[in-house]
Homo-oligomer: A and B are copies of this chain.
Amino acid sequence: MRLLKYAILGLINRSPITGYDITKELDERIMANFWHAKHSQIYPELKKLLEEGLVEFQVEVQGEKLEKKVYTITKEGKNEFREWLLTDEPIGVTPKDVFRLRTFFSDELPAKDFVKLLYSQLSMHKHKLAYLSDNMAKSYSNVPMVGTLELGDYMVLEGAIMREKNVIDWLNKCLFYHGETKDKKILSDI
């Protein structure tokens, strides 16, 4: 389905960008909440898009001689991207989740060992939630208008926050089933 193609095309469509910056978007910034790719996948894909005439680039020189390729989208690229954006799709297979795989088989483990894993996951997801909430608070004081670039960012960021909260709720439920009460949890946090 060439989905990476559309992730990259969409980014270039937003504004001219280098392969390096595309990598950063997909690796650390807001897009990392629903897509990711390493630079070793991005550069070959850019080459392909170039051959297909969907993007083009101009060389910009940074400092004395460091050349960077700034990609822009072509008319054909914009058309293909818009067409893809409009297509509806079935919800497809549920993404893989290693911790749920462990949870499924957790009866093989002494309960106290699994509880330890639950607390560890809980701690990591709480940190991630704090990071995302902080990002949200710093970036938006209210919901952006429909039709703006910012609303897309806002919706996916809110989705990521809701997802983390939900995972935390689930982990707490699993802890509860293992006899771990909120009181115990608070003590363990100190």
Contact = CB atoms under 8 A, between A and B. Distances in A.
A156 interface: yes
Chain A interface mostly: helix
Contact of A166 (B10, B98, B163): B163
A163 B166 CA distance: 7
Interface string A59-99: 00000000000000000000001100110111111111111
Interface string A95-116: 1111111111111110101001
A54 to B, nearest CB: 15
Contacts of A3: 96, 98, 101
B104 A10 contact: yes
Contact of A107 (B86, B113, B149, B156): B149
Interface of A: 3, 6-7, 10, 13-14, 30-36, 81-82, 85-86, 88-109, 111, 113, 116-117, 120-121, 124-125, 128, 143, 146-149, 151-156, 158-160, 162-163, 165-166, 169-170, 173-174, 177-179
